[in-house]
Amino acid sequence: MFTGIITDVGRVAAIERRRDLRLTIQTAYDTAAIAIGASIAHNGCCLTVVEKGDGWFAVDVSAETLSKTTLGEWEVGTPVNLEQSLKLGDELGGHLVYGHVDGLATILDRQPQGDSVRFTFEVPGSLGRFVAPKGSVALDGVSLTVNEVGDGPDGRTWFGVNIIPHTQSCTNFQSLSPGRRVNFEADMLARYVARLTAGRAGTGA
């Protein structure tokens, strides 16, 4: 479990294609303190540390994960938002993020707005039902508050978020531009509300 507060921007140092994909991540974390088997979120995707050394660790990525995330698009040098798993007693600075990516969001627009940057994203309608104004989403693992939501003519949903200067400097958002895809995780509360609402509609309640 995570909070959506990024604590390091690592880099893909090596990519090895086995039965699964093995990624070596360069990091500023103290890897001596990271246990083999520890969970770390990579652009919002929870992965298990299987090997480590000074300034780096390695993770394996399954075909299922590759089909649901942007990880298959990564290259050597790609910046990666990293967050270590939440410990009991840690401050919950963002919202509860599980590292289970629901799908992909596409950047439609990026515009300066004061000192911040306004991003507009698009998701399929099946994911759009989990997005609400002032609700939370995780995009590439970053906990963000939704400003506005709208439905497009093609059945897709768009929504806007503001990225403040601190978030720009501490995440991969400084390098993201229109057309890029990011990992999208819906807020867990939104998932359950949507499920319950669907259940009530089905029973005529």
**Over the stretch 160-175, which tens digit does the pLDDT of each residue have?**
999 999 999 999 999 9
> CB-based contacts of 137: which residues, under 8 Å, 6+ apart?
130, 131, 144, 146, 159, 161, 184, 185, 186, 187
**pLDDT score, position 1:** 82
- The CA-CA-CA angle for residues 32, 98, 198, to 5°, reads 170
Residue 86, pLDDT above cutoff 70: yes
| pLDDT at res. 88 | 67
Are the beta carbons of 23 and 58 closer than 8 angstroms?
yes
Residue 205 has pLDDT above 50, yes or no: no
Pairwise pLDDT comparison (193 vs 123), residue with the higher score = 123
**Any idea where the domains of the chain sit in the sequence?**
8-84, 103-203
Residue 63 belongs to what H/E stretch?
Answer: helix 63-68
Q: How many Å separate Cα 20 from the centre of its chain?
A: 21
pLDDT in tens, 43-60: 999 999 999 999 999 999
- The model carries a pTM of 0.90
**Architecture (CATH level 2) of domain 8-84:** Beta Barrel (2.40)
Q: CB burial class (10 A; 0-12, 13-18, 19+) of residue 204? A: exposed
Band of residue 90 on the pLDDT scale cut at 50, 70, 90:
low
CATH assignment of 103-203, among 3.30.70.1350, 3.30.450.90, 1.10.240.10, 2.40.30.20: 2.40.30.20
Max CA pair span of the chain: 59
